[in-house]
Structure 1
Amino acid sequence: MKTKEDTLLTRDLLTHPHLQSNLTVPRLVEKVLSRSEGVLSATGAVSAHTGEYTGRSPKDKYIVRDGTSEDVDWGDVNQSIDEATFDHLLEKVTAYLHDRNELFHFQGFAGADENFRLPIQVINEYAWHNLFARQLFITPTENELAEHQPEFTVISAPTFKADPEVDGTSSETFILISFDKRIVLIGGTEYAGEIKKSIFSVMNYMLPKRDVLSMHCSANVGREGDVALFFGLSGTGKTTLSADPYRRLIGDDEHGWSPNGVFNIEGGCYAKCINLSEKKEPQIFNAIRFGCVLENVVLNDETRDPDYDDTSLTENTRAAYPLENIDNIVSPSVAGHPNTIIFLTADASGTLPPISRLTKEQAMYHFLSGYTSKLAGTERGVTKPQATFSACFGSPFLPLAPSTYAELLGEKVDQHNANVFLVNTGWTGGSYGTGERIKLSYTRAMVHAALEGELNAIETVKDPIFGLEIPMHVAGVPDDLLVPMNTWDDKEAYKQEARELAMKFHENFKKFTQASETIRSAGPSYKGN
């Protein structure tokens, strides 16, 4: 619970003489334009730039270390900061914001399931950040708003710059979470994604304590009510594959799996816009209209048309829009228990099977591993593909030990007999630069077969290096493509590449000291000499 002092500080902001609370979308758009925070694009969406910071600042994110947060998995991801430092900055930011001409206030929810949702409020220095929050979180009805009691507060002051020597931060930027005071304090960055991801981190801390698996994944549901989850890091095809005209979208990024089923944590989508086209991704393209927020998307000076191919500001261009802008959705964003779980990876080594079925233990192993390949150009300094691992496909947002989430996954897979598949959307016939990317049409056919249950009883062959069960036939996919070594001209080169990747899996998994031997042995069969 909040202390009296913290309540008074928050109340000080909420009694600001020019506080704009729960403005409608049109009024927020007017505010953005009148304050020159952004411009109107030809699509009707507001376009804003974030300046120096065009992505998250993980090295500037901290959790307050106190009696409430003793179970946090402290380390490079979850850096600690003391209560005194937090209190000092909270007081400074509150005073700073009190002197602003206007403040913007949004009240809403995180979590579509009323049994597990978190009432939140967001206090913003910028109108466009408040519009972003309104589109990404769940907006209450009039009756819900009348009874709304916030249990977590986000305070965002992008133009407040910390002084590291005085304020105890690493840089001018800070994202601080206090689970005791139930406040997220953000300063020194205009990147709106920090608002969204900080609440996701909060939910990742709170939900597992209520037997809810919080997940960084997309989810959809078929005509028969069958639910599918899609996990995957950036560039693996998570958003593309979950956007299916024959299935309704539950959500594209953050979900909870409770004793009741799956629910979306958000009320909107925060989609990447790089190379976006109506032909390739019509749902996202057509969702970007009035009331949406375009972040760091370059516009034509005359026509104000977005140029989604222009990466001069950043490759991390984004669009924030409400779920209602997608035609084929589940409303409210709640569904039953998953029938099928898809782990997506874009393997640049060209050695992982395009699709394989996992045992429960293998599912937990690959969930903890969270493997994909980081490609050249995605980050500064990356000149060739690199194997990258992110625990539970969302390591930066996990306050608790990864094993907490993996154990919950294993229990729920067991309890609800969910089928789990590893799908490689990466390379075949050779590694990156030699082979070619697996055709999207083949991947869609494999995912369709998995969702329809066509692979549940089909004959499989075991991969000798990774220990994965590979189906011998998938409708619409060449049989030779299914077994990676069959697609390589140089078989010895394939074996060498596969063994190297297997060793990277083993090396990465050493950090999961809490994992049982059963899970540990579910990894690649090859362990080196």
Structure 2
Amino acid sequence: MQEIGKKNPSANLAGIGLNVAIANWNLSSEALTQKTIELGQGVLNDTGALCVSTGKFTGRSPKDKFTVKDAITEHSVDWGDVNIPFAPEAFDKLYDRVCKHLEGKEVWVRDAYACADPKYRLNIRVINETPWANLFCNDLFLRPTDAEIDTQTPDWHIIQAPSFEADPAIDGTRQGNFTIVNFTRRVILIGGSAYTGEMKKGIFGVLNFVLPHDHKVLSMHCSANEGKDGDVALFFGLSGTGKTTLSADANRALIGDDEHGWSDDSVFNFEGGCYAKCIDLSAEKEPEIFAAVKPGALLENITFLPGTSTVNYADGSITENTRAAYPIFHIANAKEPSYGGEPKNIFFLTCDAFGILPPISKLTKEQAMYHFISGYTAKVAGTEVGVTEPQTTFSACFGRVFLPLHPAKYAELLGQKLEAHPNINVWLVNTGWSGGAYGVGNRMKLSLTRAMITAAMKGELDNVEYVPHDVFGVLKPQSCPGVPNELLNPRETWADKEAYDKKALELGALFNKNFEKYADQASDAIKSAAPKGLVNA
């Protein structure tokens, strides 16, 4: 085996069953970019970012993600449609087949880690078939120093082999692609898909098990930033609701883009980079993200303006889920190390396709628990295979598909945090539709959402009048700097007020129906925050 690059002298791939021809260890982003171009797997755009295609899969495939059911997970994991069990012996056989497939090939190896708080650091070693996937890992995971690489040993391995197609009849998978997490062997095995997000979310799933289960740390699908006075804000939401966009604020330091832990004394980033949706990206709307797309960044599944190397960010012909991956230091005001203190404001971002929820509302502790467990939003086109337009969904804790444990476990931890810190403000923010449902109304303007969130963080909503929503009971501010008053009351934006009332009741009924599966583990106080019939209609 020929080995190139810097590594721990005792590190080797043979110990995990890999017998490859060439192993490239911890190459620089420049070297990985150049190798990708040489292999004909990517090109540069006019800002120097590497542009690639992920092939057939341009989003995650949740139905093809499995967890090995073993002594560690059997009685801890919440098994079902989200956490699909996989037999240990079937994993072992498939693992050996993937290793055989990689035999004699060239691979790219990277030592990285997750969790910026040293108390919870998880060392990762990634083995990729392509240099650009290895670049993605360099961008997204935390990067050890050269001195740390000399001695680092992995807690977990990721083996990504997109060119390996499973045979369901032999391997026990659903189809040719798969992502399988094995907590006993501490391996994430990926095949049949080159979509890089599977690696990122695979580690997220691992931490969503380890941190709450072993350390009582709340793992969160959220972004985080920090003001000049050290005030931390959290932004919860699924892909497309605005986590990355709204947390990238020129006036605040970015702690992280997507995944965080909340311990007794810190909020810390799991990652070392950002994976931003870039459909319709522009310097005017999202200047920080636009400027981050430069040498070292990776653009996935984009197209160019005819005859140029200028990205056509408006083109979703390949997928609406076009992505930009870049290290966090590409954001000018990123905070390193990427952790801060207790949060002062928490924002639940929801893309309300019904156009019912207020653009911003304040939640009681009980309402915060209820909406956290509910996790209402709409899936945005392209984030998952088969999703071509917004679809109403409930995703517990704003990330159900990433949670190995029962959602109540995470909700309990959140409740304990809010109980211990009663001065934390929790807000529900609708980044979806106003003036009507999807197809009738209009998507909330980003500038107005930013104005409302800024006002909340500055304390400008502390002393304004609030009115409870007739169905949901959330508290609507009746004024907000820079925002028309009528917009703050969604019923007033509808031409047909009776139609709004009817749709509000329909949405409330959907909330109640969804919550039934959690009701037996919810307190009476949380249940009291459920939607009710119209009071003043």
Above 0.5 in TM-score? yes
Contact 2:65 2:84 in 1 (8 A): yes
SS in 2 for 1:175: strand
Residue 508, structure 1, aligned to residue 508, structure 2:
no
How far does the alpha carbon of each residue in 1:23-52 deviate from its partner, in whole angstroms, 9 at most, with x for none? 111211222122222222222111111111
SS in 2 for 1:270: strand
Equivalent-residue separation in structure 2 for 1:127 and 1:92 (angstroms): 22
Query: 1:475 Cα shift?
Result: 2.2
**Shift in CA distance, 161/22, structure 1 to aligned 2, threshold 3 Å:** same
Structure 2 match to 1:348: 353
Residue 477, structure 1, aligned to residue 483, structure 2:
yes
Give the TM-score normalised by structure 2. Answer: 0.92
Structure 2 match to 1:50: 54
Query: 1:59 Cα shift?
Result: 1.1
Residue 186, structure 1, aligned to residue 190, structure 2:
yes
Equivalent-residue separation in structure 1 for 2:502 and 2:122 (angstroms): 49
Structure 2 match to 1:448: 454
Contact 1:356 1:469 in 2 (8 A): yes
Query: 1:505 Cα shift?
Result: 0.5
Query: 1:333 Cα shift?
Result: 0.5
Equivalent-residue separation in structure 1 for 2:37 and 2:341 (angstroms): 42
Residue 517 of structure 1: which of 498, 517, 524 is its match?
A: 524
Residue 133, structure 1, aligned to residue 137, structure 2:
yes
**Shift in CA distance, 378/294, structure 1 to aligned 2, threshold 3 Å:** closer
Mean CA deviation greater in 472-481 or 497-506: 472-481
Show structure 2 runs of 5+ residues with no match. Answer: 1-10
**Shift in CA distance, 293/272, structure 1 to aligned 2, threshold 3 Å:** same
Residue 196, structure 1, aligned to residue 208, structure 2:
no
Mean CA deviation greater in 325-334 or 431-440: 431-440
Equivalent-residue separation in structure 2 for 1:481 and 1:383 (angstroms): 28
Equivalent-residue separation in structure 2 for 1:365 and 1:267 (angstroms): 31
Give the TM-score normalised by structure 1. Answer: 0.94
Structure 2 match to 1:489: 495
Equivalent-residue separation in structure 1 for 2:87 and 2:13 (angstroms): 19
Contact 1:506 1:527 in 2 (8 A): no
**Shift in CA distance, 14/164, structure 1 to aligned 2, threshold 3 Å:** closer
How far does the alpha carbon of each residue in 1:381-400 deviate from its partner, in whole angstroms, 9 at most, with x for none? 76875421111111111111
Structure 1 match to 2:432: 426
Mean CA deviation greater in 216-225 or 429-438: 429-438
**Shift in CA distance, 386/482, structure 1 to aligned 2, threshold 3 Å:** same
Structure 2 match to 1:227: 232
Equivalent-residue separation in structure 2 for 1:346 and 1:298 (angstroms): 27
**Shift in CA distance, 437/34, structure 1 to aligned 2, threshold 3 Å:** closer
Query: 1:93 Cα shift?
Result: 0.9
For 1:346, give the aligned amino acid.
C
Q: How does 1:229-378 map to 2 (within 5 A)?
A: 229-300=234-305, 302-374=307-379
**Shift in CA distance, 421/157, structure 1 to aligned 2, threshold 3 Å:** same
**Shift in CA distance, 16/429, structure 1 to aligned 2, threshold 3 Å:** closer
Residue 208 of structure 1: which of 193, 209, 212 is its match?
A: 212
Contact 1:264 1:334 in 2 (8 A): yes
Equivalent-residue separation in structure 2 for 1:188 and 1:48 (angstroms): 17
Equivalent-residue separation in structure 1 for 2:534 and 2:170 (angstroms): 50
How far does the alpha carbon of each residue in 1:50-92 deviate from its partner, in whole angstroms, 9 at most, with x for none? 1111111111110000001120010001000000000001111
**Shift in CA distance, 429/250, structure 1 to aligned 2, threshold 3 Å:** same
Q: CA RMSD in A?
A: 2.1
Residue 177 of structure 1: which of 170, 178, 181 is its match?
A: 181
**Shift in CA distance, 145/470, structure 1 to aligned 2, threshold 3 Å:** same
Residue 39, structure 1, aligned to residue 43, structure 2:
yes
Structure 2 match to 1:4: none
Structure 2 match to 1:218: 223
Equivalent-residue separation in structure 2 for 1:35 and 1:511 (angstroms): 51
**Shift in CA distance, 316/489, structure 1 to aligned 2, threshold 3 Å:** closer
Structure 1 match to 2:103: 98
Query: 1:14 Cα shift?
Result: 6.3
Contact 2:435 2:441 in 1 (8 A): yes
**Shift in CA distance, 440/32, structure 1 to aligned 2, threshold 3 Å:** closer
Residue 439, structure 1, aligned to residue 414, structure 2:
no
Contact 2:18 2:103 in 1 (8 A): no
Contact 2:166 2:192 in 1 (8 A): yes
Query: 1:299 Cα shift?
Result: 3.1
The alignment of Structure 1 onto Structure 2 pairs a total of residues equal to 521
Mean CA deviation greater in 348-357 or 263-272: 348-357
Mean CA deviation greater in 23-32 or 338-347: 23-32
**Shift in CA distance, 73/159, structure 1 to aligned 2, threshold 3 Å:** same
Show structure 1 runs of 5+ residues with no match. Answer: 1-6
Residue 392 of structure 2: which of 367, 380, 387 is its match?
A: 387
Q: Percent identity?
A: 55
SS in 1 for 2:521: coil
